[in-house]
A and B are shown apart, each in its own frame.
Chain A
Amino acid sequence: MAHFLEAKGITKNFGELQVLKGIDLSVNKGEVICLIGASGSGKSTFLRCLNFLEIATSGSIEVDGQAIDPKTSDLNQYRANLGMVFQHFNLFPHMSVLENIIEAPIRVKKVKKSQAIETAMVLLKKVDLEDKAHEHPARLSGGQKQRVAIARALAMRPSLMLFDEPTSALDPETVESVLKTMRVLASEGMTMIVVTHEIGFARAVADRVCFIHEGRIWEQGSASELLDNPKEERTKEFLKAVMV
């Protein structure tokens, strides 16, 4: 079966520093992949290369069999099809929750405003924030902000969702509400790539877990294989350190 997304030999240099040293990753439709690893291992950079927020130094990315070339492809159109959720939410502070969600569907996809609002309200209900539609982000807790960010990304009806440490900036008591939203998404068959430190989430939801170390996929496997029976010494050390 052809993969939905295929990244091959992705490298990324920042000046002299090589952050990614050749990463290959294939993603099937409906698959949930968790990327784990220490900070500085390159997992976030890799994720950002997938939607060209960073342009990889070398390597190729294919989606649905189509090679994406940052020089010739319409990156805006490509990105509109991938949802991204950031560690620090990056909501638009001058807009209400509802306006945050309908902005891109209206401007980018040219959806009618009334219809965008309708979709947004369904999504807000899904993330359990329908009563906050007219608040500004500044009035929300971290967990609420992140759920709005997820709704904003979903409003574009993406075929793949990228999560860049979605719970790392949250207060412990609001983490669960975000993870719950993500579990629901996964159960509905959304294709997801999640950079996370939440080993419990990875164990429960991921179809595949990749341990990234020094800019490479050091080891990968099913959640139980990698998390419970890691083969590599580095993976064992990392898991021991994060699971105390």
Chain B
Amino acid sequence: MPSFAHLFETFVSSAPLFLKGALLTFELSLASVLIGLAIGLFFAFLSLSKIRALNAISNFYITLVRGTPLIVQIFVLYFGLTDVVQISGFLAATLALAFHNGAYLSEIFRGAIQSIDRGQYEAAKSLGMTSYQTYARIILPQAFLRALPALGNQFIIALKDSSLAAFISMDELFNMATTQGANNFDQMTYLIIVAVYYLVMVMALSHLVNLVEVKLKRSGAT
């Protein structure tokens, strides 16, 4: 084990590099979660559709994502995509992570939408609202509030999963740690440091989710 003094010293001296890595990790996670939310909502509606073929499509997607390791998905998408079109590693990694998160997010959305009482649809209908208005104004806002804890959890998973982008040579946090560790023949120090970075980011994120939840509860909206 490296000494505490050594750890601290390395932590400070490596901070400029690691902060850059942390920024990339943050960007990668945020972009993939945002795209993943759109994908997730889309497939949630396919799952909830009365049309069997659409259910089957979404079922296939979710099974595929859940049934294969993320690292395989990242490699397949990265080499698959860069083979066909010229795209950056960042875009490939973002899309791969979004594709992965989208499946889990779609299940979260589906569950939340299904948990909304039938009476809410009926009330909206009885007021003459269209299906689109009913979903946009009545069902989805409530479903989103209900899904918030699970969404927060999925965001945390997405943040940590983004470390796998190191394997397609993205200079995000984890890649920084392994390269620095190898260059300096000091793996453990850099691994501990990178763990601290992830921990702090995850704690900040959970705190943020908690804040939003408390605020919503206080407003009486849930």
Contacts and interface: CB of A to CB of B under 8 A. Distances in A.
Nearest to A91: B123
Contacts of B129: 76, 103-104, 107-108
B125 interface: yes
Nearest to B117: A90
B133 A90 contact: no
B58 interface: no
Interface residues of A, number: 30
A138 to B, nearest CB: 5
A81 B126 CA distance: 9
Contacts of A77: 128
B69 interface: no
Contacts of A53: 122, 125-126
A103 B126 CA distance: 13
Contacts of B119: 86, 88, 90
A104 B137 CA distance: 10
A202 interface: no
B138 interface: yes
A108 B120 contact: no
B122 A156 contact: no
A94 B221 contact: yes
B144 to A, nearest CB: 9
B221 A104 contact: no
Interface string B74-103: 000000000000000000000000000000
A80 interface: yes
A83 B119 CA distance: 15
A220 interface: no
B17 to A, nearest CB: 45
B219 A136 contact: yes
Given A88-B119, A107-B133, A138 B126 contact: no
Nearest to A99: B137
A109 to B, nearest CB: 8
Contacts, number: 70
A103 B137 contact: yes
Given A92-B120, A94-B145, A108-B133, A51 B126 contact: yes
A152 B222 CA distance: 20
A45 to B, nearest CB: 13
A172 interface: no
A153 interface: yes
B142 interface: yes
Interface in A25-84: 51, 53, 76-84
A138 B218 CA distance: 11
Given A90-B119, A92-B123, A80 B220 contact: no
B51 interface: no
Interface in B124-149: 125-130, 133, 137-138, 141-142, 145
B123 A86 contact: yes
A27 to B, nearest CB: 17
Contact of B127 (A93, A135, A153): A153
A139 interface: yes
Nearest to A52: B125
Given A76-B130, A79-B125, A88-B119, A107 B221 contact: no
Contact of A107 (B122, B126, B137, B222): B137
A102 to B, nearest CB: 11
Q: Which of B128, B130, B142, B222: most chain A CB closer than 10 A?
A: B128
Contacts of B120: 90, 92
A244 B90 CA distance: 76
Contacts of A92: 120, 123, 138, 142
17 contacts: A51-B126, A53-B126, A76-B129, A79-B127, A83-B126, A86-B119, A92-B138, A92-B142, A93-B142, A93-B221, A94-B141, A103-B137, A135-B220, A136-B219, A136-B221, A139-B220, A156-B127
Interface of B: 117, 119-120, 122-123, 125-130, 133, 137-138, 141-142, 145, 219-222
Q: Which 6 A-B pairs have the closest CB atoms?
A: A80-B128, A136-B220, A90-B123, A104-B127, A84-B126, A90-B119
Given A109-B128, A153-B127, 19 more contacts: A51-B126, A76-B128, A76-B130, A79-B128, A81-B128, A84-B123, A84-B126, A86-B123, A88-B119, A90-B117, A90-B122, A90-B123, A94-B141, A94-B142, A107-B129, A136-B220, A136-B221, A138-B220, A156-B128
